[in-house]
Amino acid sequence: MSQYDNTFNTAAVRERSIIKNVYMWMTAGLGLTGAVAWWFSGNMALMSAFYSNPMLFFGAIIGELVLVMYLSRNIMRMSSGAATAAFAGYAILNGVTLSTIFLAYTGATIALAFVTTAAAFGAMSLYALTTSRSLQGMGHYLMMGLIGIIIASVINFFLKSPALYYLISYVGIAVFMGLTAYDTQRILAMSRQYSGSVDETDYIRISIIGALKLYLDFINIFLFVLRIFGRRR
């Protein structure tokens, strides 16, 4: 076997390893968020203290935004320990802010929404990993769709229109399913770029930033699906 073949095989193995670790980190983040949300929702004293204090609630929301932006911009300059801590911190904060779903929705509804989300997410991610078609041109349109969802959500906060509520939910699912495929293909390209020569720290950094992108896509699909299923307690 030639040196080129050895190098190619090694790069392919590392590429698959990076992709595998992205999904492992994403799954760990989702598991941590779910565990924290479930535990927090069962502690009414903590729930009452948290949601009755606007500074705590909005502080958690701001903390989530800061962590996402900081990780997105600085991940390749952070130590592996700092990147791991930031990702875990975000997953924990998100678990706290999402804890109300266990009080607002039945367990059956949450479970059905999760299974539906996992199937949709898995299908789009698998498509992106296997297709030969470039999905990078979708990015601009998906961002326009995301901005449209935000604007429509703000408008409907005042209108309280059930029809617009469901329209936003369906469009939101479509946009984040598209983002799942788009982000998966970007992560695949990143893994190919770094698969030839990457140290252990970069390996963890790439895995975490990829996991964060897919984690956000999954969570948003789940929340929109939950809005549609919507069997409240």
More confident residue, 198 or 105: 105
Q: If you average pLDDT over every residue of the chain, what do you get?
A: 92
More confident residue, 4 or 226: 226
Measure Cα distances from 130 to 16, 123, 133, 183, 194 in Å: 13, 11, 9, 14, 19
Would you say 209 and 75 are in contact if contact means Cβ atoms under 8 Å apart?
A: yes
Beta bridge partners of residue 105, listed in sequence order: 232
Mean pLDDT to the nearest integer, 151-175: 97
pLDDT (0 to 100) of residue 233:
55
pLDDT (0 to 100) of residue 4:
42
Sign of CA dihedral 204, 84, 179, 27: positive
- Kindly state the percentage of the chain with pLDDT values over 90: 83
pLDDT (0 to 100) of residue 13:
77
What are the pLDDT digits (tens) for 72-122? Answer: 999 989 999 999 999 999 999 999 999 999 999 999 999 999 999 999 999
The answer to whether residue 184 scores a pLDDT higher than 50 is yes
pLDDT (0 to 100) of residue 29:
98
| 232: helix, strand or coil | strand
